[in-house]
Amino acid sequence: MSDTIDRARSLISGASHLVVLTGAGISAESGIPTFRGADGFWRVGSKNYHPQQMATYRAFCAMPEEIWKWYLYRLDLCKNAKPNAGHRAIVKLEKSFERAGKQFHLVTQNVDGLHLEAGSDPATTYQVHGNIHFIRCAKECSPDIHPLAKQNAGVPLCPQCGGFARPHVLWFDEMYDEKNYKYETVLTLSQKLDVLLIVGTTLQTSLPALLVSAAIKRGVPVIDINPEPAGLDGDRVIQISGKAAEILPEILEG
């Protein structure tokens, strides 16, 4: 294990354009359940729903109150969570790249906002699935995004047209775009990065999976930190089995 950690450390410090890709696993130790974990399910009436059924535009149109109930519950978890040692280690890494005049970008699938709260630079942090602390008009009366004011129940309303608002997140039955989710920016990064560090994701969503497959195809070193690594194939893939809040500080600060 310590050999693998040393190799990862030297690849990261030798990178001139590092991209870090994070998923729900990095926030697990802040107390936010992952989607694929046992806590992910939600009960409506007598039926259990999987997040992949709840987090859809279709479900929102069919049962807006229930969907918002689920999001307000998740928002509450996010509001009570604090960034952990993994989020903080990524901030330190970003600053060390900045001091050295090297390129650093963070692509996160998380909607909890914890990277920004930890101090990651908003200019180089791409929240490719949105941010649960924000809303936008469900009918897109305007492209504006608004902070979600305190709301304990019911459906938040669009401050512009008064119709239903939706959480500012990408749903499973929707497409990425540049304006809300930085689609083209991330595709461009996939052709430029020279080391990719992945943390805590099953890579089941398409843009993150594209980023990883492009890196592997280009022969770029890829480091995957996860208690159950995704089993990526490639000569230059390093898998480190362990928890983000333990392994990241060890690699990045060790």
Q: How far is the CB of 110 from ligand NAD (least distance, A)?
A: 3
Determine, following the binding rule CB under 6 A, whether residue 83 of this chain makes contact with ligand NAD.
Answer: no
Determine, following the binding rule CB under 6 A, whether residue 5 of this chain makes contact with ligand NAD.
Answer: no
Number of Cβ within 10 Å of residue 91's Cβ equals 18
Q: How far is the CB of 2 from ligand NAD (least distance, A)?
A: 19
Separation CA 200–CA 242 (nearest Å): 10
Number of Cβ within 10 Å of residue 62's Cβ equals 10
Separation CA 202–CA 33 (nearest Å): 14
Separation CA 62–CA 59 (nearest Å): 5
Number of Cβ within 10 Å of residue 139's Cβ equals 12
Comparing CB distances to ligand NAD, the nearer of 84 and 190 is 84
The catalytic position among 129, 133, 146, 168 is 129
Comparing CB distances to ligand NAD, the nearer of 98 and 228 is 228
**Contact (CB, 8 A) for 48 and 249:** no
**Contact (CB, 8 A) for 196 and 237:** no
Give the binding-site size for ligand NAD (rule: CB under 6 A). Answer: 26
Determine, following the binding rule CB under 6 A, whether residue 116 of this chain makes contact with ligand NAD.
Answer: no
Site for ligand NAD in 233-252 (CB under 6 A): 243-244
Site for ligand NAD in 124-153 (CB under 6 A): 129
- Residue ranges that bind ligand NAD, judged by CB under 6 A: 23-25, 27-29, 32, 34-36, 109-112, 129, 199-202, 204-205, 226-228, 243-244
